[in-house]
Amino acid sequence: MADTSTRTVERALLLLGTVCDRGSVTLADAARDAGLSASTALRLLRTLEGTGFVRRDDNGYRPGMRVVQLGAQALSHESLVSLAEEALERLVDSTGESAYLNVPSHDGHGIYLSVREGTHSVRHTSWVGRSIPLEGSAAGAVLRGRTAEDGFVVVSNGIEPDVTAIAAPVISGGHVVAALSVVVPSYRITDDGARRIGRQVAAEAAGILTPPPTNTPPTNESTSPGAQA
């Protein structure tokens, strides 16, 4: 894994990241943030501008339309979100709580790929694209393959205070490719309730890539143990 990467491009993408993070940023800020000299940052931002990835207004640089365009395209090509749609909906229907689909991202993080809001007036809220640490969160534990025997993970008051997260793995080819999760305000749930929802989430997660109708012959490809009961 020698240095097969181009510094210029890395820097430009870094810059793009800070622009999107901040929503609106001045040249000097962006340069500082990315650790670049002003002239370099200017040149790269201009390139990004010329390709529509950022745009300028009087206040500085802002995410360009190309970013939302590519993002939307990418999402639409993500078959997981359509496959998980029904499962998310069933979870919301039967629990009234917010349900999510999380996938691993490039750095040691996960992100929310799909969101279905709960029906309770007090409910957990998140959004597509939001970043989630892999440690200290239920979905993160699942994504790292740390699922317990019973097929789901419960984390109370972890990263986010006052909420209990319940997650289960979506498995494909022996690998965890996503986490299905339900997040509920802690005051509203008991240990038993969490287990009940846990079993439900695990069942839905298992069903996402193995639709019930077909009777798949036993194809055994398990790298990691516990390919589900």
Give the SS3 label for residue 74: helix
Binding mask 95-124 for a second copy (x = CB under 8 A): --------xxxxx---x-x-----------
Residue placing its CB nearer to a second copy in the complex, 61 or 152: 61
Q: Which residue has the tokens 């509920």?
A: 184
Least distance (Å) from DNA to the CB of residue 218?
14
Only segment of 33-41, 96-104, 115-123, 192-200 that touches DNA (CB under 7 A)? 33-41
- d(CA 124, CA 163) in angstroms, rounded, equals 8
- 165 forms beta bridges with 155, 183
Residue placing its CB nearer to DNA in the complex, 42 or 115: 42
Residue 43: HSE in the Cβ half-sphere, 13 Å Cα cutoff: 7
2 binds, among a second copy, DNA, none (CB under 5 to 8 A by kind): DNA
Which of these, 56, 57, 102, 53, lies nearest to 81 by C-alpha position? Answer: 102
* 83 makes contact with DNA (CB under 7 A): no
For residue 228, report the phi and psi dihedrals to the nearest 5 degrees. 90, 145
Least distance (Å) from a second copy to the CB of residue 109?
9
Enter the tokens of residue 69: 């365009």
Question: DSSP class of residue 58?
Answer: T
* 51 makes contact with a second copy (CB under 8 A): yes
78, 85 contact by CB (below 8 A)? no
127 binds, among a second copy, DNA, none (CB under 5 to 8 A by kind): a second copy
199 binds, among a second copy, DNA, none (CB under 5 to 8 A by kind): none
Rg over alpha carbons for the chain, rounded to the nearest Å, is: 21
Name residues whose C-beta falls within 8 Å of residue 174's C-beta, 6 or more positions apart in sequence: 221, 222, 223, 224, 227
Only segment of 11-19, 137-145, 192-200, 208-216 that touches a second copy (CB under 8 A)? 11-19
- Helix ranges (H only) for the chain are 7-22, 27-34, 38-50, 65-77, 79-95, 138-143, 191-208
225 binds, among a second copy, DNA, none (CB under 5 to 8 A by kind): a second copy
* 26 makes contact with a second copy (CB under 8 A): no
Task: Write out the residues near DNA by the rule CB under 7 A.
Answer: 1-2, 4, 6-9, 11, 26-29, 36-40, 42-44, 60
Task: Write out the residues near a second copy by the rule CB under 8 A.
Answer: 4-6, 8-10, 12-14, 16-17, 20-21, 23-24, 42-44, 46-48, 50-53, 55, 58-59, 62-78, 103-107, 111, 113, 125, 127-131, 218, 220-222, 225, 227
